[in-house]
């Protein structure tokens, strides 16, 4: 069925779905809040304690800075400290370490990360300023942006791949426009080369471009994913050529941790440093609910990106992987900006029970 016929069918019949959809959204949000409070996990340790994974990545970078090849340094550090080397995904891709090793010490590395964080904040601030938001709402948007970017300003954040990749995803998303998407694709591909967890974002953007019949743009996103795939295969071949059966095998990442793991990821990566812990089970469902009121091309991509990662976190990730939430840390708070419009729209749909003028959402 052609796309225009599907759209016409939807607009002809959507009135009948408004009230049931609103009820499902409200009930689902309330259920997630209740489940979150009932299953709230134990407090997480300090975000970047200066040991563990952070110390491992820092030592590898220092070895590169002193002239040692990446894979030799990474394998030696993994073995020396008892980190697993199998499967190959336990070893991070080399790009971030290569970049950091070229910078002048900890100060230069921190400056590079803060520059990326500032650029991401400025790009989003400018994009939102063009939407004609009320000054109070715009100030709230800037505060929420600051909350999401805050992990980049914490001590020991520079070696953490997820911090860089999350900022790059946010920057790619805000820079993308229908008439100008090349820079967005390049930045997103860079994010995937830094951390393979960013690759699903490339597929989300390609799928939305296809749905909007933007074939050239979709091809570019798929090309970015192909570049990532080729780099990942090369990475796998290199690591597998250096490991032995005696090297430690990592535990599976398929854990089906469900909503408790989503709470862990959100607390560690986003809200924990700035809000009381008990607010997390309420704020995260409300943020996800708010994304239903974001509109336009940016709103669709924002909601699908955050929602896609949340669905992934339901299935993948161990308790010690909760820092994966940093992948969507700059984006998740933005849902709170539209929570009230989403609530107004749902309540209006429930009252009307028929097609009516949509409540004002957040234009994007």
Q: At what angle do helices 199-211 and 215-240 cross, to 10 degrees?
A: 160
Q: Can you give the pLDDT at residue 12?
A: 47
How many Cα atoms occupy the beta-carbon half-sphere of 249 within 13 Å?
Answer: 4
Give the per-residue pLDDT at 17. 72
Contact 362, 295 (CB under 8 A): yes
Q: pTM for the full model? A: 0.91
Q: For position 1, what pLDDT does the model report?
A: 43
Q: What pLDDT does residue 154 have?
A: 86
Quote the CA–CA distance of 93 and 82 in Å, as a whole number.
19
* Residue-level pLDDT at 359: 47
Spatial CB neighbours of 254, under 8 Å, sequence gap ≥ 6: 315, 316
Q: What is the pLDDT of residue 22?
A: 87
Whole-number pLDDT of residue 348? 87
pLDDT per residue, tens digit, the chain (364 aa), is 444 555 454 444 455 677 888 889 999 999 999 999 999 877 666 556 556 889 999 999 999 999 999 999 999 999 999 999 999 999 999 999 999 999 988 899 999 999 999 999 999 999 999 888 889 999 999 999 998 999 999 888 999 999 999 999 999 999 999 999 999 999 999 999 999 999 999 999 999 999 999 999 999 999 999 999 999 999 999 999 999 999 999 999 999 999 999 998 988 655 555 667 788 899 999 999 999 999 899 999 999 999 999 999 999 999 889 889 999 999 999 999 999 999 998 988 888 765 544 444 555 5
CA distance 90 to 86: 6
């Amino acid at each position: 069925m052609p796309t225009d016929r599907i759209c016409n069918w939807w607009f002809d019949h959507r009135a009948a779905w408004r009230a049931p959809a609103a009820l499902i959204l409200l009930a689902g949000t309330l259920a997630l809040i209740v489940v979150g409070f009932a299953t709230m996990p134990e407090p997480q340790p300090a975000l970047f304690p200066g040991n563990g994974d952070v110390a491992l990545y820092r030592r590898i970078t220092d070895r590169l800075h002193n002239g040692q090849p990446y894979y030799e340094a990474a394998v030696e550090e993994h073995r020396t400290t008892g980190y697993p080397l199998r499967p190959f995904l336990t070893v991070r891709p080399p790009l971030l370490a290569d970049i950091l090793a070229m910078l002048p010490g900890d100060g230069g590395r921190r400056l590079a990360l803060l520059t990326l964080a500032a650029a991401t904040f400025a790009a989003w601030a400018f994009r939102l300023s063009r939407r004609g938001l009320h000054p109070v709402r715009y100030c709230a948007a800037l505060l929420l942006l600051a909350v999401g970017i805050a992990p980049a300003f914490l001590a020991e954040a520079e070696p953490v791949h997820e911090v860089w990749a999350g900022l790059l995803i946010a920057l790619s998303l805000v820079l993308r426009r229908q008439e100008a998407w090349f820079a967005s694709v390049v930045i997103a591909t860079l994010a995937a080369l830094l951390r393979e967890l960013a690759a699903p974002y490339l597929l989300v953007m390609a799928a939305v471009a296809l749905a909007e019949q933007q074939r050239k743009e979709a091809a570019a996103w798929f090309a970015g994913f192909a570049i990532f795939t080729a780099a990942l295969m090369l990475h796998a071949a290199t690591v597998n050529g250096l490991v032995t059966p005696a090297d430690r095998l990592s535990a599976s990442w398929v854990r089906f941790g469900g909503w408790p793991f989503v709470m862990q990821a959100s607390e560690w990566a986003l809200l924990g440093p700035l809000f009381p812990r008990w607010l997390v089970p309420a704020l995260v469902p409300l943020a996800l609910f708010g994304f239903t009121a974001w509109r336009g091309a940016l709103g669709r991509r924002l909601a699908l990106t955050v929602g896609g990662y949340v669905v992934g976190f339901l299935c993948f990730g161990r308790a010690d992987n909760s820092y994966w939430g940093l992948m969507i840390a700059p984006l998740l708070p933005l849902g709170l900006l539209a929570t009230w419009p989403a609530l107004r729209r749902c309540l209006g749909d429930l009252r009307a029970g028929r097609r009516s003028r949509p409540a004002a959402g957040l234009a994007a």
